[in-house]
Structure 1
Amino acid sequence: MTSTTPRAQRAQQVPAQAQAKIIIPEKHPMVSVLGAGDSFLKVIEKAFPDLDIHARGNEITATGDRTGIRLVQHLFDEMMLVLRTGQPLTEDSVERSIAMLRKAEEDPTSPEGSQNPSAVFTANILSNRGRSIRPKTLNQQNYVDAIDRHTIVFGIGPAGTGKTYLAMAKAVQALQAKQVTRIILTRPAVEAGERLGFLPGTLYEKIDPYLRPLYDALHDMIDPDSIPRLMAAGTIEVAPLAYMRGRTLNDAFIILDEAQNTSAEQMKMFLTRLGFNSKIVVTGDVTQIDLPGGTTSGLKIVQEILGDVEDIHFSRLTSQDVVRHKLVGKIVDAYGQYDAAQENAAAAPRKPRPPRRNES
């Protein structure tokens, strides 16, 4: 016997369509909300393909499922909060806002910041020559907050997640606020395919390529003309890790970059340089270790040793926090999947070789 569903019952099974109207205040031109050529609106439509979104005048109408509409309403509220600060929106900030709001919707226990993307995008760390440096993702915001709260912070994550750049911005901010009297930037001079001895020039000229990324970031944050004077006075020091041995660093903001290329002994040596009224930030990517074979990365071991020590914090960033070209995040994910597959293949038990016919 074939049963039929009554029409009324079938109608109840179909999710009810909802509609919401979002009025944009007249003080915000629609081009600042929807983007040039409706570029922001296109990002939103792509992220919510089940919603029908239309803009007319200063009114935006969204029709579809209630959850999607609720997220879109929240999104536009957050976009308005960003615009009120005078900061322009970008396609990237709209995409990241959607990702944060979705994460908060899926996980009610997610950090408070994920429910308020505007708080992340308007958290200014440093301004120089009309350019502001601020976190761009929730994990970056948590990382910056951890630097404020803890004496030693480890920023661990793939390339392009802003680990070193944000740490240096916090260092310059601390120096300008007279919280410290000097900034010390250091890196291990470990070869990545080249040998120091084969490079031309003096010791300083050989080491310079390893420290160049730190100089480049400094030029973004401090007037380039004042950097030589600050370095001559010892207010800013950029030096190889080996130069830290035997020192006690007081009243300083110290950053160890590329920490995955330290040995366990070097990591211990560096951390024990900490003096009074100082702060240490250690950054690195455990997937890009250039140490010679057989040497274990100090950054890998330190997580096991100091994971439970009070006033030491480990901030972990992921491919979702990459703020370079979008392809960088995809490259990081692809390499991560490849490495995981290789490890699984190596760990899998080998099948016994079947005996040959002439074997007894």
Structure 2
Amino acid sequence: MADVFTFPEGFPFTLLDVSGYNEQPFDVSADLLTASGNILCALVLGKRFDHGDTRFQHLQTTLKNLGAEIVKWRCPFMTYIPIVQDPAAKLRIYSDEVRQFIREEIDLHRLNLDPENPRDFIDYCLLQLDQQDGGGTWLKEDNVVYIVQDLFIAGIDTTAATLTWVMLYMILYPEVQQKVQAELDCVLGATKPSLAHREQLPYTTATIMEAQRIRQISPMMFMRQADESTRLRGFDIAKGTHLILNLRSVHMDPVAWPNPEVFDPSRFLDADGKVVNNPPSFLPFAAGRRNCLGEQLAKMELFLLFSTIMQHFTLKVPEGAPTPSTQGIFESLSMTPAPFQLCAVSR
């Protein structure tokens, strides 16, 4: 991935700067969605969009609507509701719009493709298509379109939702926020955070992991189907049975996580203060052969964006505002907090 994509100069502050709100209350979720969307666009399209770009805004809205329709298909019974004559109609409409956007970008890439200097994921795919010379058919342009669509669906909303949860818990647990900032100040000073700093910032990393544990953006994973009959922990599972992983039950299991509703990053630190990698009962990116392919990119984004925000701002509940709820809602593919506002005070 490093051969294809390099984070831009000044990243991530160039993609997410909330100083323009002048310490006034605002909803951070839209800015986080734009930032995560631009990161993926830089990787896939080789460019980022201005925050007010109407074409980019339309893409974000379409992806959000598409995610909401996909969520409905987690519940097969929707097909049998009489008033829903064609439950997949909107799903097809939004999918077509996203694919049209991608095809337009592919056409633009073809106009100035330099085989010696590929710029992004689409360029590499186009070069592969050209190299096949009609002799190989394992990759077609339609495949590229669908791959990019999957990257957009799985990689934008999910990262933004996770970061929104982290921001919420920072204003609810100011003592945790202070510990994160103290660690950043001690290790970084005025230096910009980089991926090389991750091992030196264990509490910062653990805070992100605790947010992923306590509020899963996908508490009920996508449905799978048993390929053959089997027996698991005393239960007989017949071939063809539809299975859904209840991730919430894993992350909120009091046996694995004492007082699971308490936000406590120290759960992910060992006796030496180092991060406990791959702890049992922690599956934010699922597991097995079908786990999240974008896990490593997501971890990089989360770390860089979160550490940069914490380095430059202290987040607070607006004066006189009620305490935000930690109950999640589904407006799209990921579970997000109910709308809330915060103030970002420059440090």
Give the alignment's TM-score, normalised by structure 2.
0.24
Structure number with the bigger relative contact order (C-alpha 8 A, sep ≥ 6) is 2
Give TM-score, length-normalised by structure 1.
0.23
More strand by share: 1
